[in-house]
Amino acid sequence: MLALARQRLGDGVVLERAELGGPLPFADAGFDDVVASLVLHYLEDWTTALAELRRVLKPGGRLIGSVHHPFVSHLTAPPGTDYFATRSTSQWWELGGTKHLMTFWDRPLHAITDAFTAAGFRIDVISEPPPGPGARERFPEIFAQRESGTFLCFLFFVLTKT
Ligand SMILES: C[S@@+](CC[C@H](N)C(=O)[O-])C[C@H]1O[C@@H](n2cnc3c(N)ncnc32)[C@H](O)[C@@H]1O
């Protein structure tokens, strides 16, 4: 993602990568944007991560990201699972030829939006985006099944530091 960002933005832009969950090694109010793409759902506690992301953003800076869609997590959970609980689920994933036990933290939609606003962000966009340009030509079998071609998978958001 950093390589793609570099390609799109050119050499004159500072790009950093960081571990979420503890203090970030950056000064206050230094960044225009933070991207947290498909990462927050690995964390049980979002309070520290969101506070730190907000701290390093300039006033009016944006947190742009995505998480597992909470409806998918619920639809694929065992019968009787409490949608309204924040709960961990684990799955074995094969990555680079070895199996890894992946643990995610599922939470209901309101817990996601409440965490954002409690951390001092305004929610500008909550999105379930349609397929990108060219998807219909590349994956005609999916569009044959349903006209939108969209599958329920991730929830995307754009937040602004208030
Ligand atoms: C499903 S991948 C998403 C990769 C990429 N960001 C994307 O959107 O395609 C999950 C990523 O989250 C990263 N990750 C997991 N826990 C993290 C944490 N506490 N801080 C930063 N990154 C983390 C993993 O290293 C991995 O690259």
pLDDT along the chain (162 residues), means of 10: 96 96 97 97 97 98 97 93 95 94 96 98 96 94 93 95 96
Distance 42 CA to ligand 1 centre (A): 8
DSSP assignment of the chain? -HHHHHHHH-TTS------SSS--SS-TT-EEEEEEES-GGG-S--HHHHHHHHHHEEEEEEEEEEEE-HHHHHHTSPTT--TTS-EEEEEEEEETTEEEEEEEEE--HHHHHHHHHHTTEEEEEEE-PPPPTTHHHH-HHHHHH-TT---S-EEEEEEEE-
- Domain residue extents for the chain: 2-69+107-161
What fold, for 2-69+107-161? Rossmann fold (3.40.50)
pLDDT for res 55: 98
Distance 66 CA to ligand 1 centre (A): 11
pLDDT for res 151: 86
Distance 146 CA to ligand 1 centre (A): 30
Kindly list the protein residues whose Cβ atom lies closer than 6 A to any atom of ligand 1. 1, 19-21, 37-39, 42-43
pLDDT for res 94: 95
> Which residue's CA is the closest to the ligand 1 atom numbered 2?
38
